[in-house]
Amino acid sequence: MTTKQSVDLILYPRWLAPMSATPAEAKAGAVAFLENHACVIHQGKTLDVLPQDECRQKYSAQFEYNLSKHLLMPGLFNGHAHSAMALLRGFADDYPLMTWLQEHIWPAEGKHVSESFVKTGSELAICEMLASGITCFNDMYFFPGTLGEVLRDAGLKGSISGPILEFPTPWAQNADEYLAKNTDLIQEFNKGGDIQFGYGPHAPYTVSNATFEKIIDQAQANNTWIHTHLHETAFEVQQSMTDFGMRPVARLAKLGLFDVHSQAVHMTQINDEDIENLAGKKCHIIHCPESNLKLASGFSPIQKLYNAGLNINIGTDGAASNNDLDMVSETRTAALLAKAVAEDAEAFPAYQAMYSATRGGALAYGRDKMGSIEAGFEADMIAVNLDDLNTQPVFDPIAQFVYASNNRQISHVWVNGKLVCEHGQVRVIDTDKVRHDVEQWRQKLKG
């Protein structure tokens, strides 16, 4: 009798979606999901994926989970958030973007944003995101080092883009100070791997050409990315035509932004010339459909962008313009909206939607060994209980996840093979304390 190999953890799901095949490969017939396979996890990584019978012969583990009604899939990657803005959820609703920012959000932030605000807001957002199956996310907000510390203390992951603007805020006084503070954080955090920092110039209308040029140099020198809001509204495009005589995408292309690792968030109001400026470049698209809908910003033609060879990732944006941080509903909204925008029911099919919410995020942020369940990859994954009546019967678990499930069906969340959330209960942050601190902030913000 051969000795079984002892490992940390074995999961026995009914269905397993590795997300290894690209959407194009899946469309051409590659296997989208496996049935009755096991996932073997050791030292924070997936060690093996194999039929359950074989697994029982080959491996034994201290912890084993029988997930006989569940889909096991990579954790969701929220490609764009402003976590601490969870404290401003419901603070000002039903305004267009510039009114919302200039008359409500920016004045409140100017008065209240501090390390303490960011700590509590980030903890609130992270708890909500974990319970919704988000195992990594991008963030752009002030005092980003505070978010980095919250994640480090909890043993979680993040790809953080520290903000850069031309005007003063409680975090920095001018573009050079924002840039220098970001460079310090990149040098402090990026060695570890789980928490990485990049540069987050806020938008074309808040950052000058000279500052963009400095950021591009610094990003290359520090081997990191540049993350910016781009083509969020028609107003932004009109203003750029007035101020620069060209569309925002054309302006940033001319500066060389897309020749370096970058992410463009929103991308509404896109024409064929914009797509030509992006095709074949190192830019990834972060699509935030619910924020675009709520702020009436416009529609992003994501199937067209994907067809031009661009990688797509889905994001929630901040809770103040969504108003939740739920990537399950965001993914469904993205899938449905893409069909309406393309006027094509075959656009952005379920597999592509799930890929964009998982592996697409890992690729967008240069995390090559994340977002897929296969040997050697980081063991960040979630179990979704499809036994609820709203997801019965199961013909295709991927379609069921995208079109019929909700975030309360996410039963288990693992990061680096560690169970961080079970049945909605976060295990790595004290949620009672978060509730208490959030209430203190609500009273302060109410004034």
Task: Give which of 431, 430, 428 is closest to 155, Cα–Cα.
Answer: 428
Residue span binding Zn ion (CB under 5 A) among the ranges 31-39, 193-201, 315-323, 348-356: 315-323
Nearer Cβ to Zn ion (109/317): 317
CA atoms within 13 A on the CB side of 146: 18
Nearer Cβ to Zn ion (157/202): 202
Residue 317 binds to Zn ion (criterion: CB under 5 A): yes
List, edge to edge, every strand of the sheet that includes 312-314: 76-81, 134-139, 158-164, 195-201, 226-230, 262-266, 283-287, 312-314
CB atoms within 10 A of CB 420: 22
Number of residues in contact with Zn ion, rule: CB under 5 A?
A: 1
Residue 236 binds to Zn ion (criterion: CB under 5 A): no
Q: Which residues, including other chains, have CB under 8 Å from residue 210's CB and lie 6 or more apart?
A: none
CB atoms within 10 A of CB 342: 17
Nearer Cβ to Zn ion (290/317): 317
Nearer Cβ to Zn ion (202/359): 202
Residue 139 binds to Zn ion (criterion: CB under 5 A): no
Nearer Cβ to Zn ion (317/437): 317
Residue span binding Zn ion (CB under 5 A) among the ranges 165-173, 190-198, 219-227, 314-322: 314-322
Residue span binding Zn ion (CB under 5 A) among the ranges 11-19, 101-109, 309-317, 426-434: 309-317
**Closest approach of Zn ion to the CB of residue 353, in Å:** 21
Question: Whose structure tokens read 């194999």?
Answer: 50
**Closest approach of Zn ion to the CB of residue 265, in Å:** 6
**Closest approach of Zn ion to the CB of residue 203, in Å:** 9
**Closest approach of Zn ion to the CB of residue 319, in Å:** 11
Task: Decide if 52 contacts 91 (C-beta within 8 A).
Answer: no
Question: Whose structure tokens read 């990859």?
Answer: 377
Instruction: Give the SS3 label for residue 42.
Output: strand
Task: Decide if 148 contacts 158 (C-beta within 8 A).
Answer: yes
Measured from each CB, the residue nearest to Zn ion is: 317
Task: Decide if 259 contacts 281 (C-beta within 8 A).
Answer: yes
Nearer Cβ to Zn ion (122/385): 122
**Closest approach of Zn ion to the CB of residue 240, in Å:** 18
Residues near Zn ion, by CB under 5 A: 317
